[in-house]
Amino acid sequence: MDDAVDTKKLRMFVATFKEGSMRRASGTLFVTPSALSHGIRSLEESLQTKLFIRNGPVLTPTQSGQQFFNEAEDILARLDDVVSRFSSGEKSENTQLYIGTTNTGCRHLFPGIVREFRESFPNVGLKLEIGDTDHLLKEMNERRLDIVIAPLQREYRDFVQIELGYDELVHIVHPSHPWARSGASDLISLRDQKLIVPSVQSHTYDLIDSFYRELRVPLDPFIELNNEEAIKQLVSLNIGTGVVPRWITREEVSRGSLFAFDLGDSPLRRRWTVLHRKNVNLSFPEFLFIGMTKAVARNLLG
């Protein structure tokens, strides 16, 4: 094998494999379809193996193409990581970490993590992006985030997921609500509640929807919000019945400004994780940041 197997051709192959189309891949790489086709044919000649079966515009990976994709993607990920870590030269010790988390993570987890992290790495900058889980995973997959802290209920093959703990989702109501006065919720009146829940695009909404289906109660939101703190505020104004994690309502419940009730006979638990990309060697600040995240989350989530 010679130097014809360069990173440009590897990127052409990986993009085409992912997109399943040279036309779409050429758009993502900003090259012409003919240049992309030539690059992949040159790569196949260098490897002396066919990577795709061509049927007009449709491309089907061969078995060798599938195996080569796994290796090529790993090579490019490692190369990008090395370039990222060493491109700053002498200033590498004053690096920046790009962190993503949800509104709840930002409000309740991030301050404690930063407080611990700053004592060990005062010169490492932290850039925070707040968004829903899918957006954060997309940003990390595109290498714009190093670490993501979010509630996540399933595994992703491109990320390492480290479990932080579980929180429990509950109904919250205003003190004047009938549930608060009786001290108990009931399934019959659950159907009549003006529900304020997380956004329908969120993983948490899917979790709540699945739980309601088990109760044989249709989930018919009155308001959807991608902000659990805002849900608490709306409930405190007696606008509806909210669904939020219990741990972020402890202060309000303790002083009697909100009342919390289980969603059903069994608790609805949500898993929190901290994630980073696979096949990436963590820097020492990243490694410590994840460790501090685990410690802070363990203390808050229980």
Pairing of strands 268-277, 159-173: antiparallel
Q: What is the pLDDT of residues 134-171, one digit of tens each?
A: 899 999 988 999 999 999 888 888 899 999 999 999 99
Query: How far from 137 is each of 35, 217, 276, CA to CA, in Å?
Result: 31, 31, 9
* Average of per-residue pLDDT across 250-274: 91
Whether the pLDDT of residue 3 is over 50: the answer is no
Q: What is the pLDDT of residues 205-228, one digit of tens each?
A: 998 999 888 888 888 889 998 899
Looking at residue 89, its pLDDT comes to: 46
Q: What is the pLDDT of residues 167-186, one digit of tens each?
A: 999 999 999 999 999 998 88
Domains of the chain, earliest start first: 7-86 (1.10.10.10), 91-302 (3.40.190.290)
Pairing of strands 159-173, 259-262: antiparallel
Please name the residue that has the structure tokens 């901290």.
Answer: 274
**Alpha-carbon span 208 to 264, nearest angstrom:** 11
* Average of per-residue pLDDT across 43-62: 86
Looking at residue 181, its pLDDT comes to: 92
Three-state DSSP state, 295: helix
Q: How confident is the model at residue 73 (pLDDT cuts 50, 70, 90)?
A: confident
